Structure 1
Amino acid sequence: MSTDPYASAQTFSFGDSPAMADGLLALVLAGTKTATCGALRDFPEGSPERPVVGRRDVVLDGQGRRAAVIETVEVTVRRFDEMDEKFAHDEGEGLRTLAEWREGHQSYFERNGGFSPDMELICERFRLVEVLPRTETEERAVS
């Protein structure tokens, strides 16, 4: 009998739609995306969803299936208008420029609770630990 080493891990999907979840997951699996961020307001101090250095989380695909395990290697808090080119590049999306990062993330935050240039972000760098096998029968709720 095998035990699941990630049974108690936090699970999440990137983005705010199944298509975005799949697209961003593909960037993680390709090694292009090694960073992510979210509005600090969505990660209160002590909440289980808040990233923690050394923790391993399970990334879900757009269908809610476990797809990969990542390990957080750095967590910082910074304002949206203080984001730097390096972090924007490491998020791995689009042209990987700060200008495109700002445009895409402003739109995302406007859709998901509001945007302001001085909003605080929780910024996470991670490494891919493991790619998990996905089967059609393994459906999990996206949380």
Structure 2
Amino acid sequence: MARSEGEGRDKPLYMISVAAELTGMHPQTLRVYEQKGLVTPGRSRGNTRLYSQSDIDRLNLISKLTDEGINLAGVIRILDMRERELELERELETLRARVRSLEEEVREYHVQEKITALARYDGANPEQVMHRLLLNGSSKE
């Protein structure tokens, strides 16, 4: 079974020393960021911090924001807004898919309604109904 791109990015892989090297941060900085809730690394069975690629990307964004002079409270707010935006985008896509599905159902309903209207035969025999359907179908083309 193929793994989705999202799953791979969230898989805990890197120990704190590797994560620190990848982000150019000190391991103690990573611990502080975890303590403040900026990043939540996974844990191994032995309780070792394991950072995913998503964690590394998040830490790089935090580093960029702090380098631009934004304090940690501002970083937390920006990250929260970013998470909310992503959540709303996912919700919007779900709603769009639902609208597409409902539009298809409505189209199918209208087709069934037309067929039912054409198929009414008020006492006519099936051959007469078919003849009417064929005439109505060819006259609309």
TM class by shorter chain equals under 0.3
Structure ID, larger Rg = 2
> Structure 2 length as normaliser, TM-score?
0.20
TM-score by length of 1: 0.20
Q: Identify, as 1 or 2, the structure richer in helix.
A: 2
* Greater RCO (Cα-Cα under 8 Å, separation 6 or more): 1
> Higher strand share goes to which structure?
1
